[in-house]
Amino acid sequence: IAEQAPELIRAIAAAGHELACHGYHHQRLHQLDPATFAADLAKALAVLRELGPLPIEGYRAPSFSLTSRTMWAPAILREQGIRWDSSVFPFGGHPEYGIADAPLDPYWIADDLLELPMSVVELGGRRLPCPGGGYFRLYPYSLSAALIRRCNEAGRPAIFYAHPWEFDPEQPRMPLSPIKRFRHYNNLDKTLARLDRLLGEFAWGPMGPWAESARARLSPARAA
């Protein structure tokens, strides 16, 4: 996208938004070896750093694929100038991603590399993901708002994420299994109105300043 629509990336940066990296080919980490991942990351960062006026210091793995199987990746992220990662989902209820016992608060995932884990709320001894992506579309809005408040009450910002396709109810339908079809296409026509409501109901900000605040609290920078 950054290669094909550089003016879009420049407009996002000019509007004051933070740019971070999601990889070049959007391949899950467990589909790659360290060398291939390093090359993919370097290519993506080269494109973004040429377009953006500020450093690209954040990363998120496709499909939250930084798991216990791919803990070789943080060292590569740090080698290429990434200062914070937000790829770990501290949740064990999804079949394709998650680290069930990962910390809920920011922590060092490698030397001088900060992990900002995806937002999860503990209720009755169980972990429930906060809104974002399919969770935001499939939960009732009232539940999404309640989870964000619970996360804030625990002293943590709530991380929200969405994909561009989640705002396009007219997108072509692909042949998927019934469960994936439900997860992918349900409530696409409601996402934009819900997002407008969410933006008005809570205060939001970029990830970088939160990362720097957490970094100062957690110094010295060493992995647990």
What is the overall mean pLDDT for the chain?
94
Q: Stretch 72-88: mean pLDDT, rounded? A: 98
Q: What tens digit of pLDDT does each residue of 104-136 get?
A: 999 999 999 999 999 999 998 899 999 899 999
Q: Stretch 6-15: mean pLDDT, rounded? A: 93
What percentage of the chain carries pLDDT values higher than 70? 98
Identify which of 171, 153, 169, 159 has the alpha carbon closest to the alpha carbon of residue 204: 159
pTM (predicted TM-score): 0.93
